Amino acid sequence: MAPPLLKLDAIRLTFGGTPLLDGADLSVTAGDRIALVGRNGSGKSTLLKVAAGLVEAQDGEVFRHPSATIRYLPQAPDFDGFATVRAYAEAGRGPADDPHRVTYLLEHLGLTGEEDPTTLSGGEARRAALARVLAPEPDILLLDEPTNHLDLATIEWLEDELQRSKSAIVLISHDRRFLERVSRATIWLDRGQTKRLDRGFAHFEEWRDQVLEEEERDQHKLGRQIVREEHWLRYGVTARRKRNMRRLGELQSMRQKHRTHRGAEGVAKMAASDAAESGKLVIEAKGIAKAYDGVDVVRDFSIRINRGDRIGLVGPNGAGKTTLLRMLIGDLAPDAGTVRLGVNLEIATLDQKRESLDPDETLAHYLTRGRGESLTVNGQDKHVASYMKDFLFKPEQMRTPVRELSGGERARLMLARILAQPANLLVLDEPTNDLDMETLDLLQELVAGFAGTVILVSHDRDFLDRTVTSTIAPEGDGRWVEYAGGYADMLAQRGSKTFERRGGREKAAKEETAAISAPQAAKPSSKKLSYKQKFALENLPKKMEEAGAKIAALETKLADPALFSKDPTGFQKIAASLDAERAALHALEEEWLELEMLREEIEG
């Protein structure tokens, strides 16, 4: 087994009360792909900060290989002291790192590098931080929620980039599909301690359930054993005092173990408050359009949404998802076309930016809307402390201001409020942001089983596949198309892996940015491949293999740490050649993919 590059052993950390980390371990060797999972507030981010050297543990041992380079992606990057995004990203490089890699990363992450860090949106800040940590290609990458605020196109690009990376990776994410595709091992942080599964996240949930079942059986056996020992003490033979005292000591140890056992964390209880049934027609849009600064965000879109439909909206950031959503529910007037809402509609809305949260408002005041200490849920009065427990808040948090909550707690708080509101139309804009997987499971069941109608915007592919009955996606130039089924079904019908997106920063608009996804290339209409196309399809794999070999050779030359100091000009020439070869390989791959898809379409 390879020696570890990073090893945390028996890490203990507490901020008062129950320890956050209580004997947690983490071992990272070269090539590892580790998913670090656990409930919100379980200490995942703190453990990653201990690994990065940003937080000092109160007890335990930390080993970092002296020659290993470590880069950490925080949830909230600090841009202080940097005039541009490029300057921030380049600050993460070492003297021997590829000087062109920052340009490559910024381009693929949709940034120019000239942006002012103080004006970045949440998604842009996350992409800039990714460029900084990926630029040096370190020995270990510690990534805390790398997909937060990213659109689907960028998430899928990041998946491919991490799969190609030579770095060992430890990542925290609540995106199931992302974890399944990137991870090869899973570490579960639960009640302060870690358990390791040497398989990817796809196998985690079945294993976790088995571990919890075994733990429950063990606790039941221990309880029965305590009962037997207590019976023996009361009614058994009292001779042989030495042996009796030993058994009494063992009984006390068992009682202590049983009493101090931290049971599995509770599970939120989600249920939407019922409203009167809406009419069969919920929303009908005919030829609606919206443009900002002369750029079409939505053009000539029509849809009929009936009671019971669950509609998902997907697409790149800035494509116009929120604009289309707001037009459909009547919050934003279209420039052209008409929107007709059905009768008896009761709408509950979760906004993407959580803007309805006042940071100085207390949890109880927010949930009850300032109407005392009780609220009405499904026609019954319920004390706010009792309702808060359903969403994993403690009664003592009633007077806690919103500003002290984590991102996941804020998301749960907003869900608690909208689910208490009687509704037959749920409108959810990025509902999965910051939720842990257990809460995501419950939200998924709620959406899938909701008796009314649901319209949601999400970048979570797994969530979309499990919940929606149809998916609306952009096709470029303001055109939107509805596809039957979830995200995977949409891709199969659409005939492409993901969405095209233009480099550079999205243009800010009054209601939403107006950047548009690039239109798909038109497919040849012939019913058979031409001789030229057949020849290209047969020979492109060989050309791609040759280009790959050239790239590997150039990368080997650049890997020489002394090359830059000995021959700076030669280093620059090799780096430029490497960029050219990578671009050529990308063009070959695109050509081969288009021809292969055409062949499958003709043969299928």
Tens digit of each residue's pLDDT (9 = 90 or more) over 4-29: 999 999 999 987 667 889 999 999 99
- Whether residue 175 is contained in a domain is answered as yes
Give exposure, 506-534, as e/b (b: 16+ Cβ within 10 Å): beebeebbbbbbeeeeeeeeeeebeeebe
The reported pLDDT for the residue numbered 242 is: 47
What distance in Å separates the CA atoms of residue 178 and residue 156, rounded to the nearest whole number? Answer: 8
Number of structural domains found in the chain: 3
- For 95-124, write each residue's pLDDT tens digit: 888 888 999 999 999 899 999 998 888 788
The reported pLDDT for the residue numbered 495 is: 76
Is residue 414 located within the same domain as residue 542? Answer: no
- Whether residue 37 is contained in a domain is answered as yes
Confidence of residue 411 (pLDDT cuts 50, 70, 90): confident
- For 292-316, write each residue's pLDDT tens digit: 988 999 999 999 999 999 999 998 8
Range of the domain at 372: 359-421
Is residue 550 located within the same domain as residue 415? Answer: no
Is residue 404 located within the same domain as residue 539? Answer: no
Higher pLDDT among residues 503 and 421, named by residue: 421
What residues have CB less than 8 Å from 325, skipping those under 6 apart? Answer: 313, 427, 429, 455, 457
- Whether residue 496 is contained in a domain is answered as no
What distance in Å separates the CA atoms of residue 2 and residue 164, rounded to the nearest whole number? Answer: 20
Number of C-beta neighbours around residue 486 at 10 A: 22
Is residue 10 located within the same domain as residue 147? Answer: yes
- Whether residue 519 is contained in a domain is answered as no
Among residues 429, 482, 437, the alpha carbon closest in space to that of 455 is found at 429
Q: Which of 158, 187, 206 is the last residue of a domain?
A: 206
Higher pLDDT among residues 123 and 266, named by residue: 123
CATH number, domain with residue 28 = 3.40.50.300
- Partners of 455 in beta bridges: 311, 427
Q: What is the end-to-end Cα distance of the chain in Å, rounded?
A: 47
- For 197-214, write each residue's pLDDT tens digit: 999 999 998 999 888 888
CATH number, domain with residue 536 = 1.10.287.380
Reported pTM: 0.68
Q: Which of 173, 206, 239 is the last residue of a domain?
A: 206
- Show binding-site residues: 38-45, 315-322
Provide the CA 589 distance to its chain's centre, in angstroms: 28
Number of C-beta neighbours around residue 35 at 10 A: 25
Higher pLDDT among residues 228 and 241, named by residue: 228
- Whether residue 338 is contained in a domain is answered as no
The reported pLDDT for the residue numbered 75 is: 84
The reported pLDDT for the residue numbered 250 is: 66
Q: Is the model's pLDDT at 132 over the cut of 90?
A: yes
Exposed, middle or buried: residue 174 (CB in 10 Å: 0-12, 13-18, 19+)? buried
The reported pLDDT for the residue numbered 53 is: 94
- Whether residue 543 is contained in a domain is answered as yes
Overall average pLDDT of the 150-161 stretch: 90
Overall average pLDDT of the 469-477 stretch: 92
Q: Is the model's pLDDT at 392 over the cut of 50?
A: yes
Is residue 405 located within the same domain as residue 544? Answer: no
The values of phi and psi at residue 137, to 5°, are 50, 65
What distance in Å separates the CA atoms of residue 588 and residue 537, rounded to the nearest whole number? Answer: 10
- Whether residue 575 is contained in a domain is answered as yes
Q: Which of 150, 176, 206 is the last residue of a domain?
A: 206
Q: Return the structure tokens found at 603.
A: 């043969």
The reported pLDDT for the residue numbered 244 is: 60
- Show binding-site residues for ATP: 38-45, 315-322
Mean pLDDT in the chain? 83
- Whether residue 271 is contained in a domain is answered as no
Q: 3-state SS of the chain: helix, strand, coil percent to 5?
A: 40, 20, 35
Is residue 54 located within the same domain as residue 194? Answer: yes
Is residue 402 located within the same domain as residue 539? Answer: no
